[in-house]
Amino acid sequence: MTADTPARDGVDPKVLKTALILVVGALAVVFDTTIVSVALHQLATSLDVPVSTIQWVTTGYMLALGAAVPLSTWALTRFGGKRVWMVALTVFLAGSIGSSLAWDAGSLIGWRVLQGLGGGLMLPVMTTLIMQAAGGHALGKTMTWVALPGLLGPILGPLVGGAIITDYSWRFMFWVNVPFCVAGLILAGRYLPKDPPAVARPRLDVWGLVLLVPGIVAVLLGLSNAGAAGFGRFDVLAPLAVGVFFLVAFTLYALRHRDPLVDIRLLAARSVGSSTAVLFLSGFSLFGAMLLLPLYYQEVRGVSALTAGLMLVPQGIGALLSRQIAGPLTDRIGAQTIAVAGFVVVAAATVPFAFVDATSDGRLLALWLLIRGIGLGAVTMPVMTASYVGLARAEIGHASVLTRIAQQVGGSFGTAVLAVVLEQAIAGAGPGAAVSGFHVAFWWATGFSLLATVLCVWLPGRKQVQAAAAAASLAAAQPVKSGKSSV
């Protein structure tokens, strides 16, 4: 046993330092996504274009985000974490400044695509660097820092965005990112460990890139169109068909390739396969409902975007509160029990919204949102943590990409499905159509949460976590050996 063994029960100070440095920059990406989402109507008016055009401000960003994610593992190995992080953050900063200076809708969309390319690299790189620094120890506590940007964004983003749109020009939305980017670059440049010289410079898997990136982009495009128009249209079915074709082709290719762009063979590991499946399905119950809640407040209760953002703050506070409990518990008992309990809480706290109307007690709804947020925090962090249980350092980057893709595609799929459910329910209802439609959609969100509990049984439990922690401690005490572990 080494001298630092007792510290292994908590987050190593060096890991905490790395996490704090990376979180500062990552906040720019999360705030940007949530701030812009409340400003599309204002952008359409200011730039004198239809909403269908300005929607590409978010669609283009989302597609670029998805396209960049698969490159992160290769870039980390080829150039080193510090270099990739600082380049990606610089690209995002340039896209933010360019977006604020955009002269028309087309230029704004172009700068947003540049932002998405930077952000798409930043998010998996952040997760990979922090989890690699943790070395398999205190993964649950470490994940509380990885998840922090995602928890703060939904709380503060809509508030800041609504306030800017109400009192200032839309251009100021993109300047909010600049301090985070500048501070993130300064901190990373001064305090992140220097990248060690590469022993070997891996080649980019060009065929994997050609197959995987178009597949992800086409699927996300089809799902984005489905959320606005339903699944029965050509502009939905055609991209989905093309995307699925490319993804299947990449899967067949990657299974035979020695060093694919993304090693999907990791899905055979219980930790990665189960967490990826749960993260995909959680898009229906978690992200889909995030579409319904602000729409309910705006369309049924008739409040402004800023007020709707304020009303959703209790949910974010609940997620922050459970963050402090879920991380340490995951290290002790595994993700399985906590995730099941979290989904049950989310489902239970969603049921009251299936009975609301325009006059429902706002204070009682705030309480249910607080409880729902507690459930959200108890789901996302344990499931994300589970994906890294028992992985070798070289495998962490691939797991980060797989889970990020599952989150993004699952979130888009869930949002599209619940948007279609809501639209059809409203169209099929009589008087009070909007209220009835939201009732139906919230019941669907509740059902998806309960369905997710079934998949959670597959997540690593106490025994798997304890075995992985013991293996990590043993590996830390042994001389470093070359090679890649198997799963």
pLDDT mean by block of 10 residues, the chain; 487 residues: 44 77 84 71 76 77 88 87 92 93 88 91 86 70 67 68 73 86 92 72 87 92 79 87 94 89 88 87 76 82 77 83 76 81 92 89 91 86 80 84 87 84 74 78 90 84 58 50 39
Residues 6+ apart with CB under 8 A from 141: 10, 11, 327, 328, 331
- Cα separations (Å) of 434 from 70, 228, 293? 40, 17, 13
| 377, 318 Cβ separation under 8 angstroms | yes
DSSP code for 203: P
| 120, 68 Cβ separation under 8 angstroms | yes
Sign of the alpha-carbon torsion through 294, 300, 304, 306: negative
Angle, CA 65 vertex, CA 62 and CA 71 arms, to 5°: 155
Tokens in use for 19? 């996490």
The alpha carbon of residue 243 and the mean position of all alpha carbons in its chain are separated, in whole angstroms, by 20
| 91, 120 Cβ separation under 8 angstroms | no
